[in-house]
Amino acid sequence: MKANITILSPFGDDEVAEVPLVSPPIELAIVQLRFPRMAKLVDGEEVIAAFATAMADQYPIFDPPRQEVNLILGPEGINQQQGSAKIWRLRSADENWSISVSATFLALESRQYPGRTELRSRLSFAIERFLQFARPPFLERVGVRYINRVHDEDIVRNLSKYVKPEVLGPLAAPIPSSVSVNHSINETRYVVDDQELQVRQGFVGPGLLHDPAIAPVKYPTWILDLDAFTHVKREFSAESVDRLVGELAARDYRYFRWAVTAEFLERFGGEHVS
């Protein structure tokens, strides 16, 4: 069944109706809230333990703290360097959801994305309990990121059928059978008023890494990595964050809908939108 997906621009104020997908290609969804470095969270075992206890019904697994990893872009690509800050992580029993906390951020992740409604509900739940034990004076950055990864062989071999040429860039160029693409990642950052959207898309060969957030796989993939964020200082409350996360998620989604074709949505179980 054909889906009505006519999106003329990746940016706009009109609302874009969601097309439910049976098997969405989202490998990882992340919401990250950054705040000024807090002394009580630098070695915050007591605060984190209290927060973990309050979250235990939904996130019963409490991992030992790990050291923060800094990403450094060099001539050979992205390298990881261990930092000094501690990160604590809580995980759901099915390991689909996790919450990470450090002295400078709170993040929620999902590896089997159920949709914006549950994402925002879980985030509000976490914020309300976090604020019982730690009260950052304000937020410095809020970001919503969706990493889409497609490994369907037909789609990867025929990207021009499933993804708009404006998005594919050099991948849309005709390539003879004697030539193969090993790796191609393009990055664009857009500024829209007080928000930004970073788009990374491209082809990643077997065993290669586009970002440490997701592990490499043994087959070729196409990546569409969308990260909408703002650096505007604002109040740290569940209500204000929920509104902003809704806006940022919608910005990511609009770009996604503009970038892919009706055939793409149908391959992932998309239904008709009136």
Tell me the DSSP string of 62-129: EEEEEEEEEEEEETTEEEEEEEEEEEEEEE-TTSSEEEEE-SSEEEEEESS---HHHHHHHHHHHHHH
Which of 263, 254, 253 is closest to 160 using CA atoms?
Answer: 263
- Residues present in the chain in total: 274
For residue 273, the model assigns a pLDDT of 43
Assess if residue 130 is contained within a domain: yes
Q: Could you give the angle at the alpha carbon of 32 between the alpha carbons of 23 and 147, nearest 5°?
A: 30
- Tokens (6 digits) for 177: 């059978």
If you ran DSSP here, which 8-state letter would residue 213 be given? T
CB environment 240-259: b (16+ within 10 A), e (fewer): ebeebbeebbbbbbbbbbbb
Q: For residue 78, what are the domain limits?
A: 26-267
- Tokens (6 digits) for 148: 């889409």
Assess if residue 33 is contained within a domain: yes
Assess if residue 34 is contained within a domain: yes
For residue 274, the model assigns a pLDDT of 38
Assess if residue 204 is contained within a domain: yes
CB environment 75-92: b (16+ within 10 A), e (fewer): eeeeeeeeeebbbbbbbb
For residue 5, the model assigns a pLDDT of 55
Q: Which parts of the chain register pLDDT below 50?
A: 1-4, 71-72, 83, 273-274
Tally of structural domains, the chain: 1
CB environment 182-200: b (16+ within 10 A), e (fewer): eebbeeeeeeeeebbbebb
- Tokens (6 digits) for 217: 């796989």
For residue 72, the model assigns a pLDDT of 47
